[in-house]
Amino acid sequence: MTDQPNTPAVLAVDWGGTWCRAGLIDRQGEVLWQARRPNPRGGGTAQYLALADTLLAEAFGLEGIHADSIGIAVAGPVDPESGTLYQPPNLMPLDGISLKQIWHERYGLPVALGNDANMAAIGEFHFGAGRDAAQAGRPHRSLFYVTVSTGIGGGVVERGSLLLGANGLTAEVGHTTIDTTTSAPPCQCGKRGCLEAVSSGTAIAAYARARLSEGRNRDSALAALSPEDLSARAVVAAAVQGDTFAHAVIARAVEGLAIGLANVVHLFNPDLIILGGGVSEGLTQLNLLPRIRQGIHERLMSELHKVFDLVPSVLGDNSGLLGAAAAAWELTDNL
């Protein structure tokens, strides 16, 4: 008598500042099951860990699907070897915790863990824009993923391997300096002129608010919005409607991205750049990717550096979860 054949899968977790998501994902990157729960507001470490345990128990209790490794993407800096989180601003109850160690001991399974933007890069490589490019006959050697959202982060996959650096803190393109003028805007990290301070969703909204508060651009549709409603999403929506001021606000963010990504191209020489995150969706909707590409090209030292594709994320909100799955599949394959 043998066991029922189970569909092989891995358990992937994407733990952000708002939700803890879990999924069972097959080798092709298909999500066989997923669930999510909101982080316990005001909860401590124990509440956070209990929340995740509930999701994991749910996943491991499902009939017909068998996972033998775990992958985790977390919103914050994490040492990929020890698995320890370092002061994750949006997940502070997990500071100093190693989910890798805890879950490995509890479930007896190998656990891979990484920063969410790094994991998103792996996800796009295995199951998203990277796979699509390869299947379309344009295989690539070096991928740079950048997420432009509330903040800006990134990940590098070089010949199939995630670039980790000394402590898993690579590809922090959001905090590279792209404005050295005296009017460079301050960044939440404490510096001035960071890419994140110019081109993130937060920066787009802040810049629009600041210009409008000066009493100019009263003819813009954005002038009618309350400061709370004046989001990057609202700026994109106005630009889609042809709003001149909104377009100027977006153009500034695009210019910043071009400077930051030109530096990235000089340093990593990627042949595939993937734009993820909500702001990138807006830029794609506005058909601005050719403009970004052109802006990068204008700043490159050689023709050979210009040989890269610039494409939108294929996986969208699932990129972190699917990256965690890809990292888990690597563990399964090495069992």
Question: Footprint of its own copies on this chain (CB under 8 A)?
Answer: 77, 86, 140-142, 158-159, 163-173, 175-181, 189-191, 193-194, 259, 262-264, 266-271, 299-302, 304-305, 307-308
Closest by Cα among 287, 29, 319 to 146:
319
Tokens standing for residue 66 = 């068998």
Q: Among residues 196 and 281, whose Cβ is nearest to its own copies? A: 196
Tokens standing for residue 32 = 């066989």
The least distance separating its own copies from the CB of residue 288, rounded to whole angstroms, comes to 20
Q: Among residues 54 and 142, whose Cβ is nearest to its own copies? A: 142
CA dist 236 and 247 (Å) reads 8
CA dist 59 and 177 (Å) reads 43
Q: Among residues 150 and 220, whose Cβ is nearest to its own copies? A: 150
CA dist 146 and 124 (Å) reads 11
The least distance separating its own copies from the CB of residue 256, rounded to whole angstroms, comes to 10
Tokens standing for residue 288 = 């601005």
The gap from C-alpha 111 to its chain's centroid, in whole angstroms, comes to 20
The least distance separating its own copies from the CB of residue 297, rounded to whole angstroms, comes to 11
Tokens standing for residue 264 = 């990235």
Q: Among residues 233 and 297, whose Cβ is nearest to its own copies? A: 297
Closest by Cα among 179, 17, 174 to 88:
17
The least distance separating its own copies from the CB of residue 68, rounded to whole angstroms, comes to 26
The least distance separating its own copies from the CB of residue 247, rounded to whole angstroms, comes to 22
Q: Among residues 50 and 301, whose Cβ is nearest to its own copies? A: 301
What residue type is assigned to position 175 of the chain?
A: H
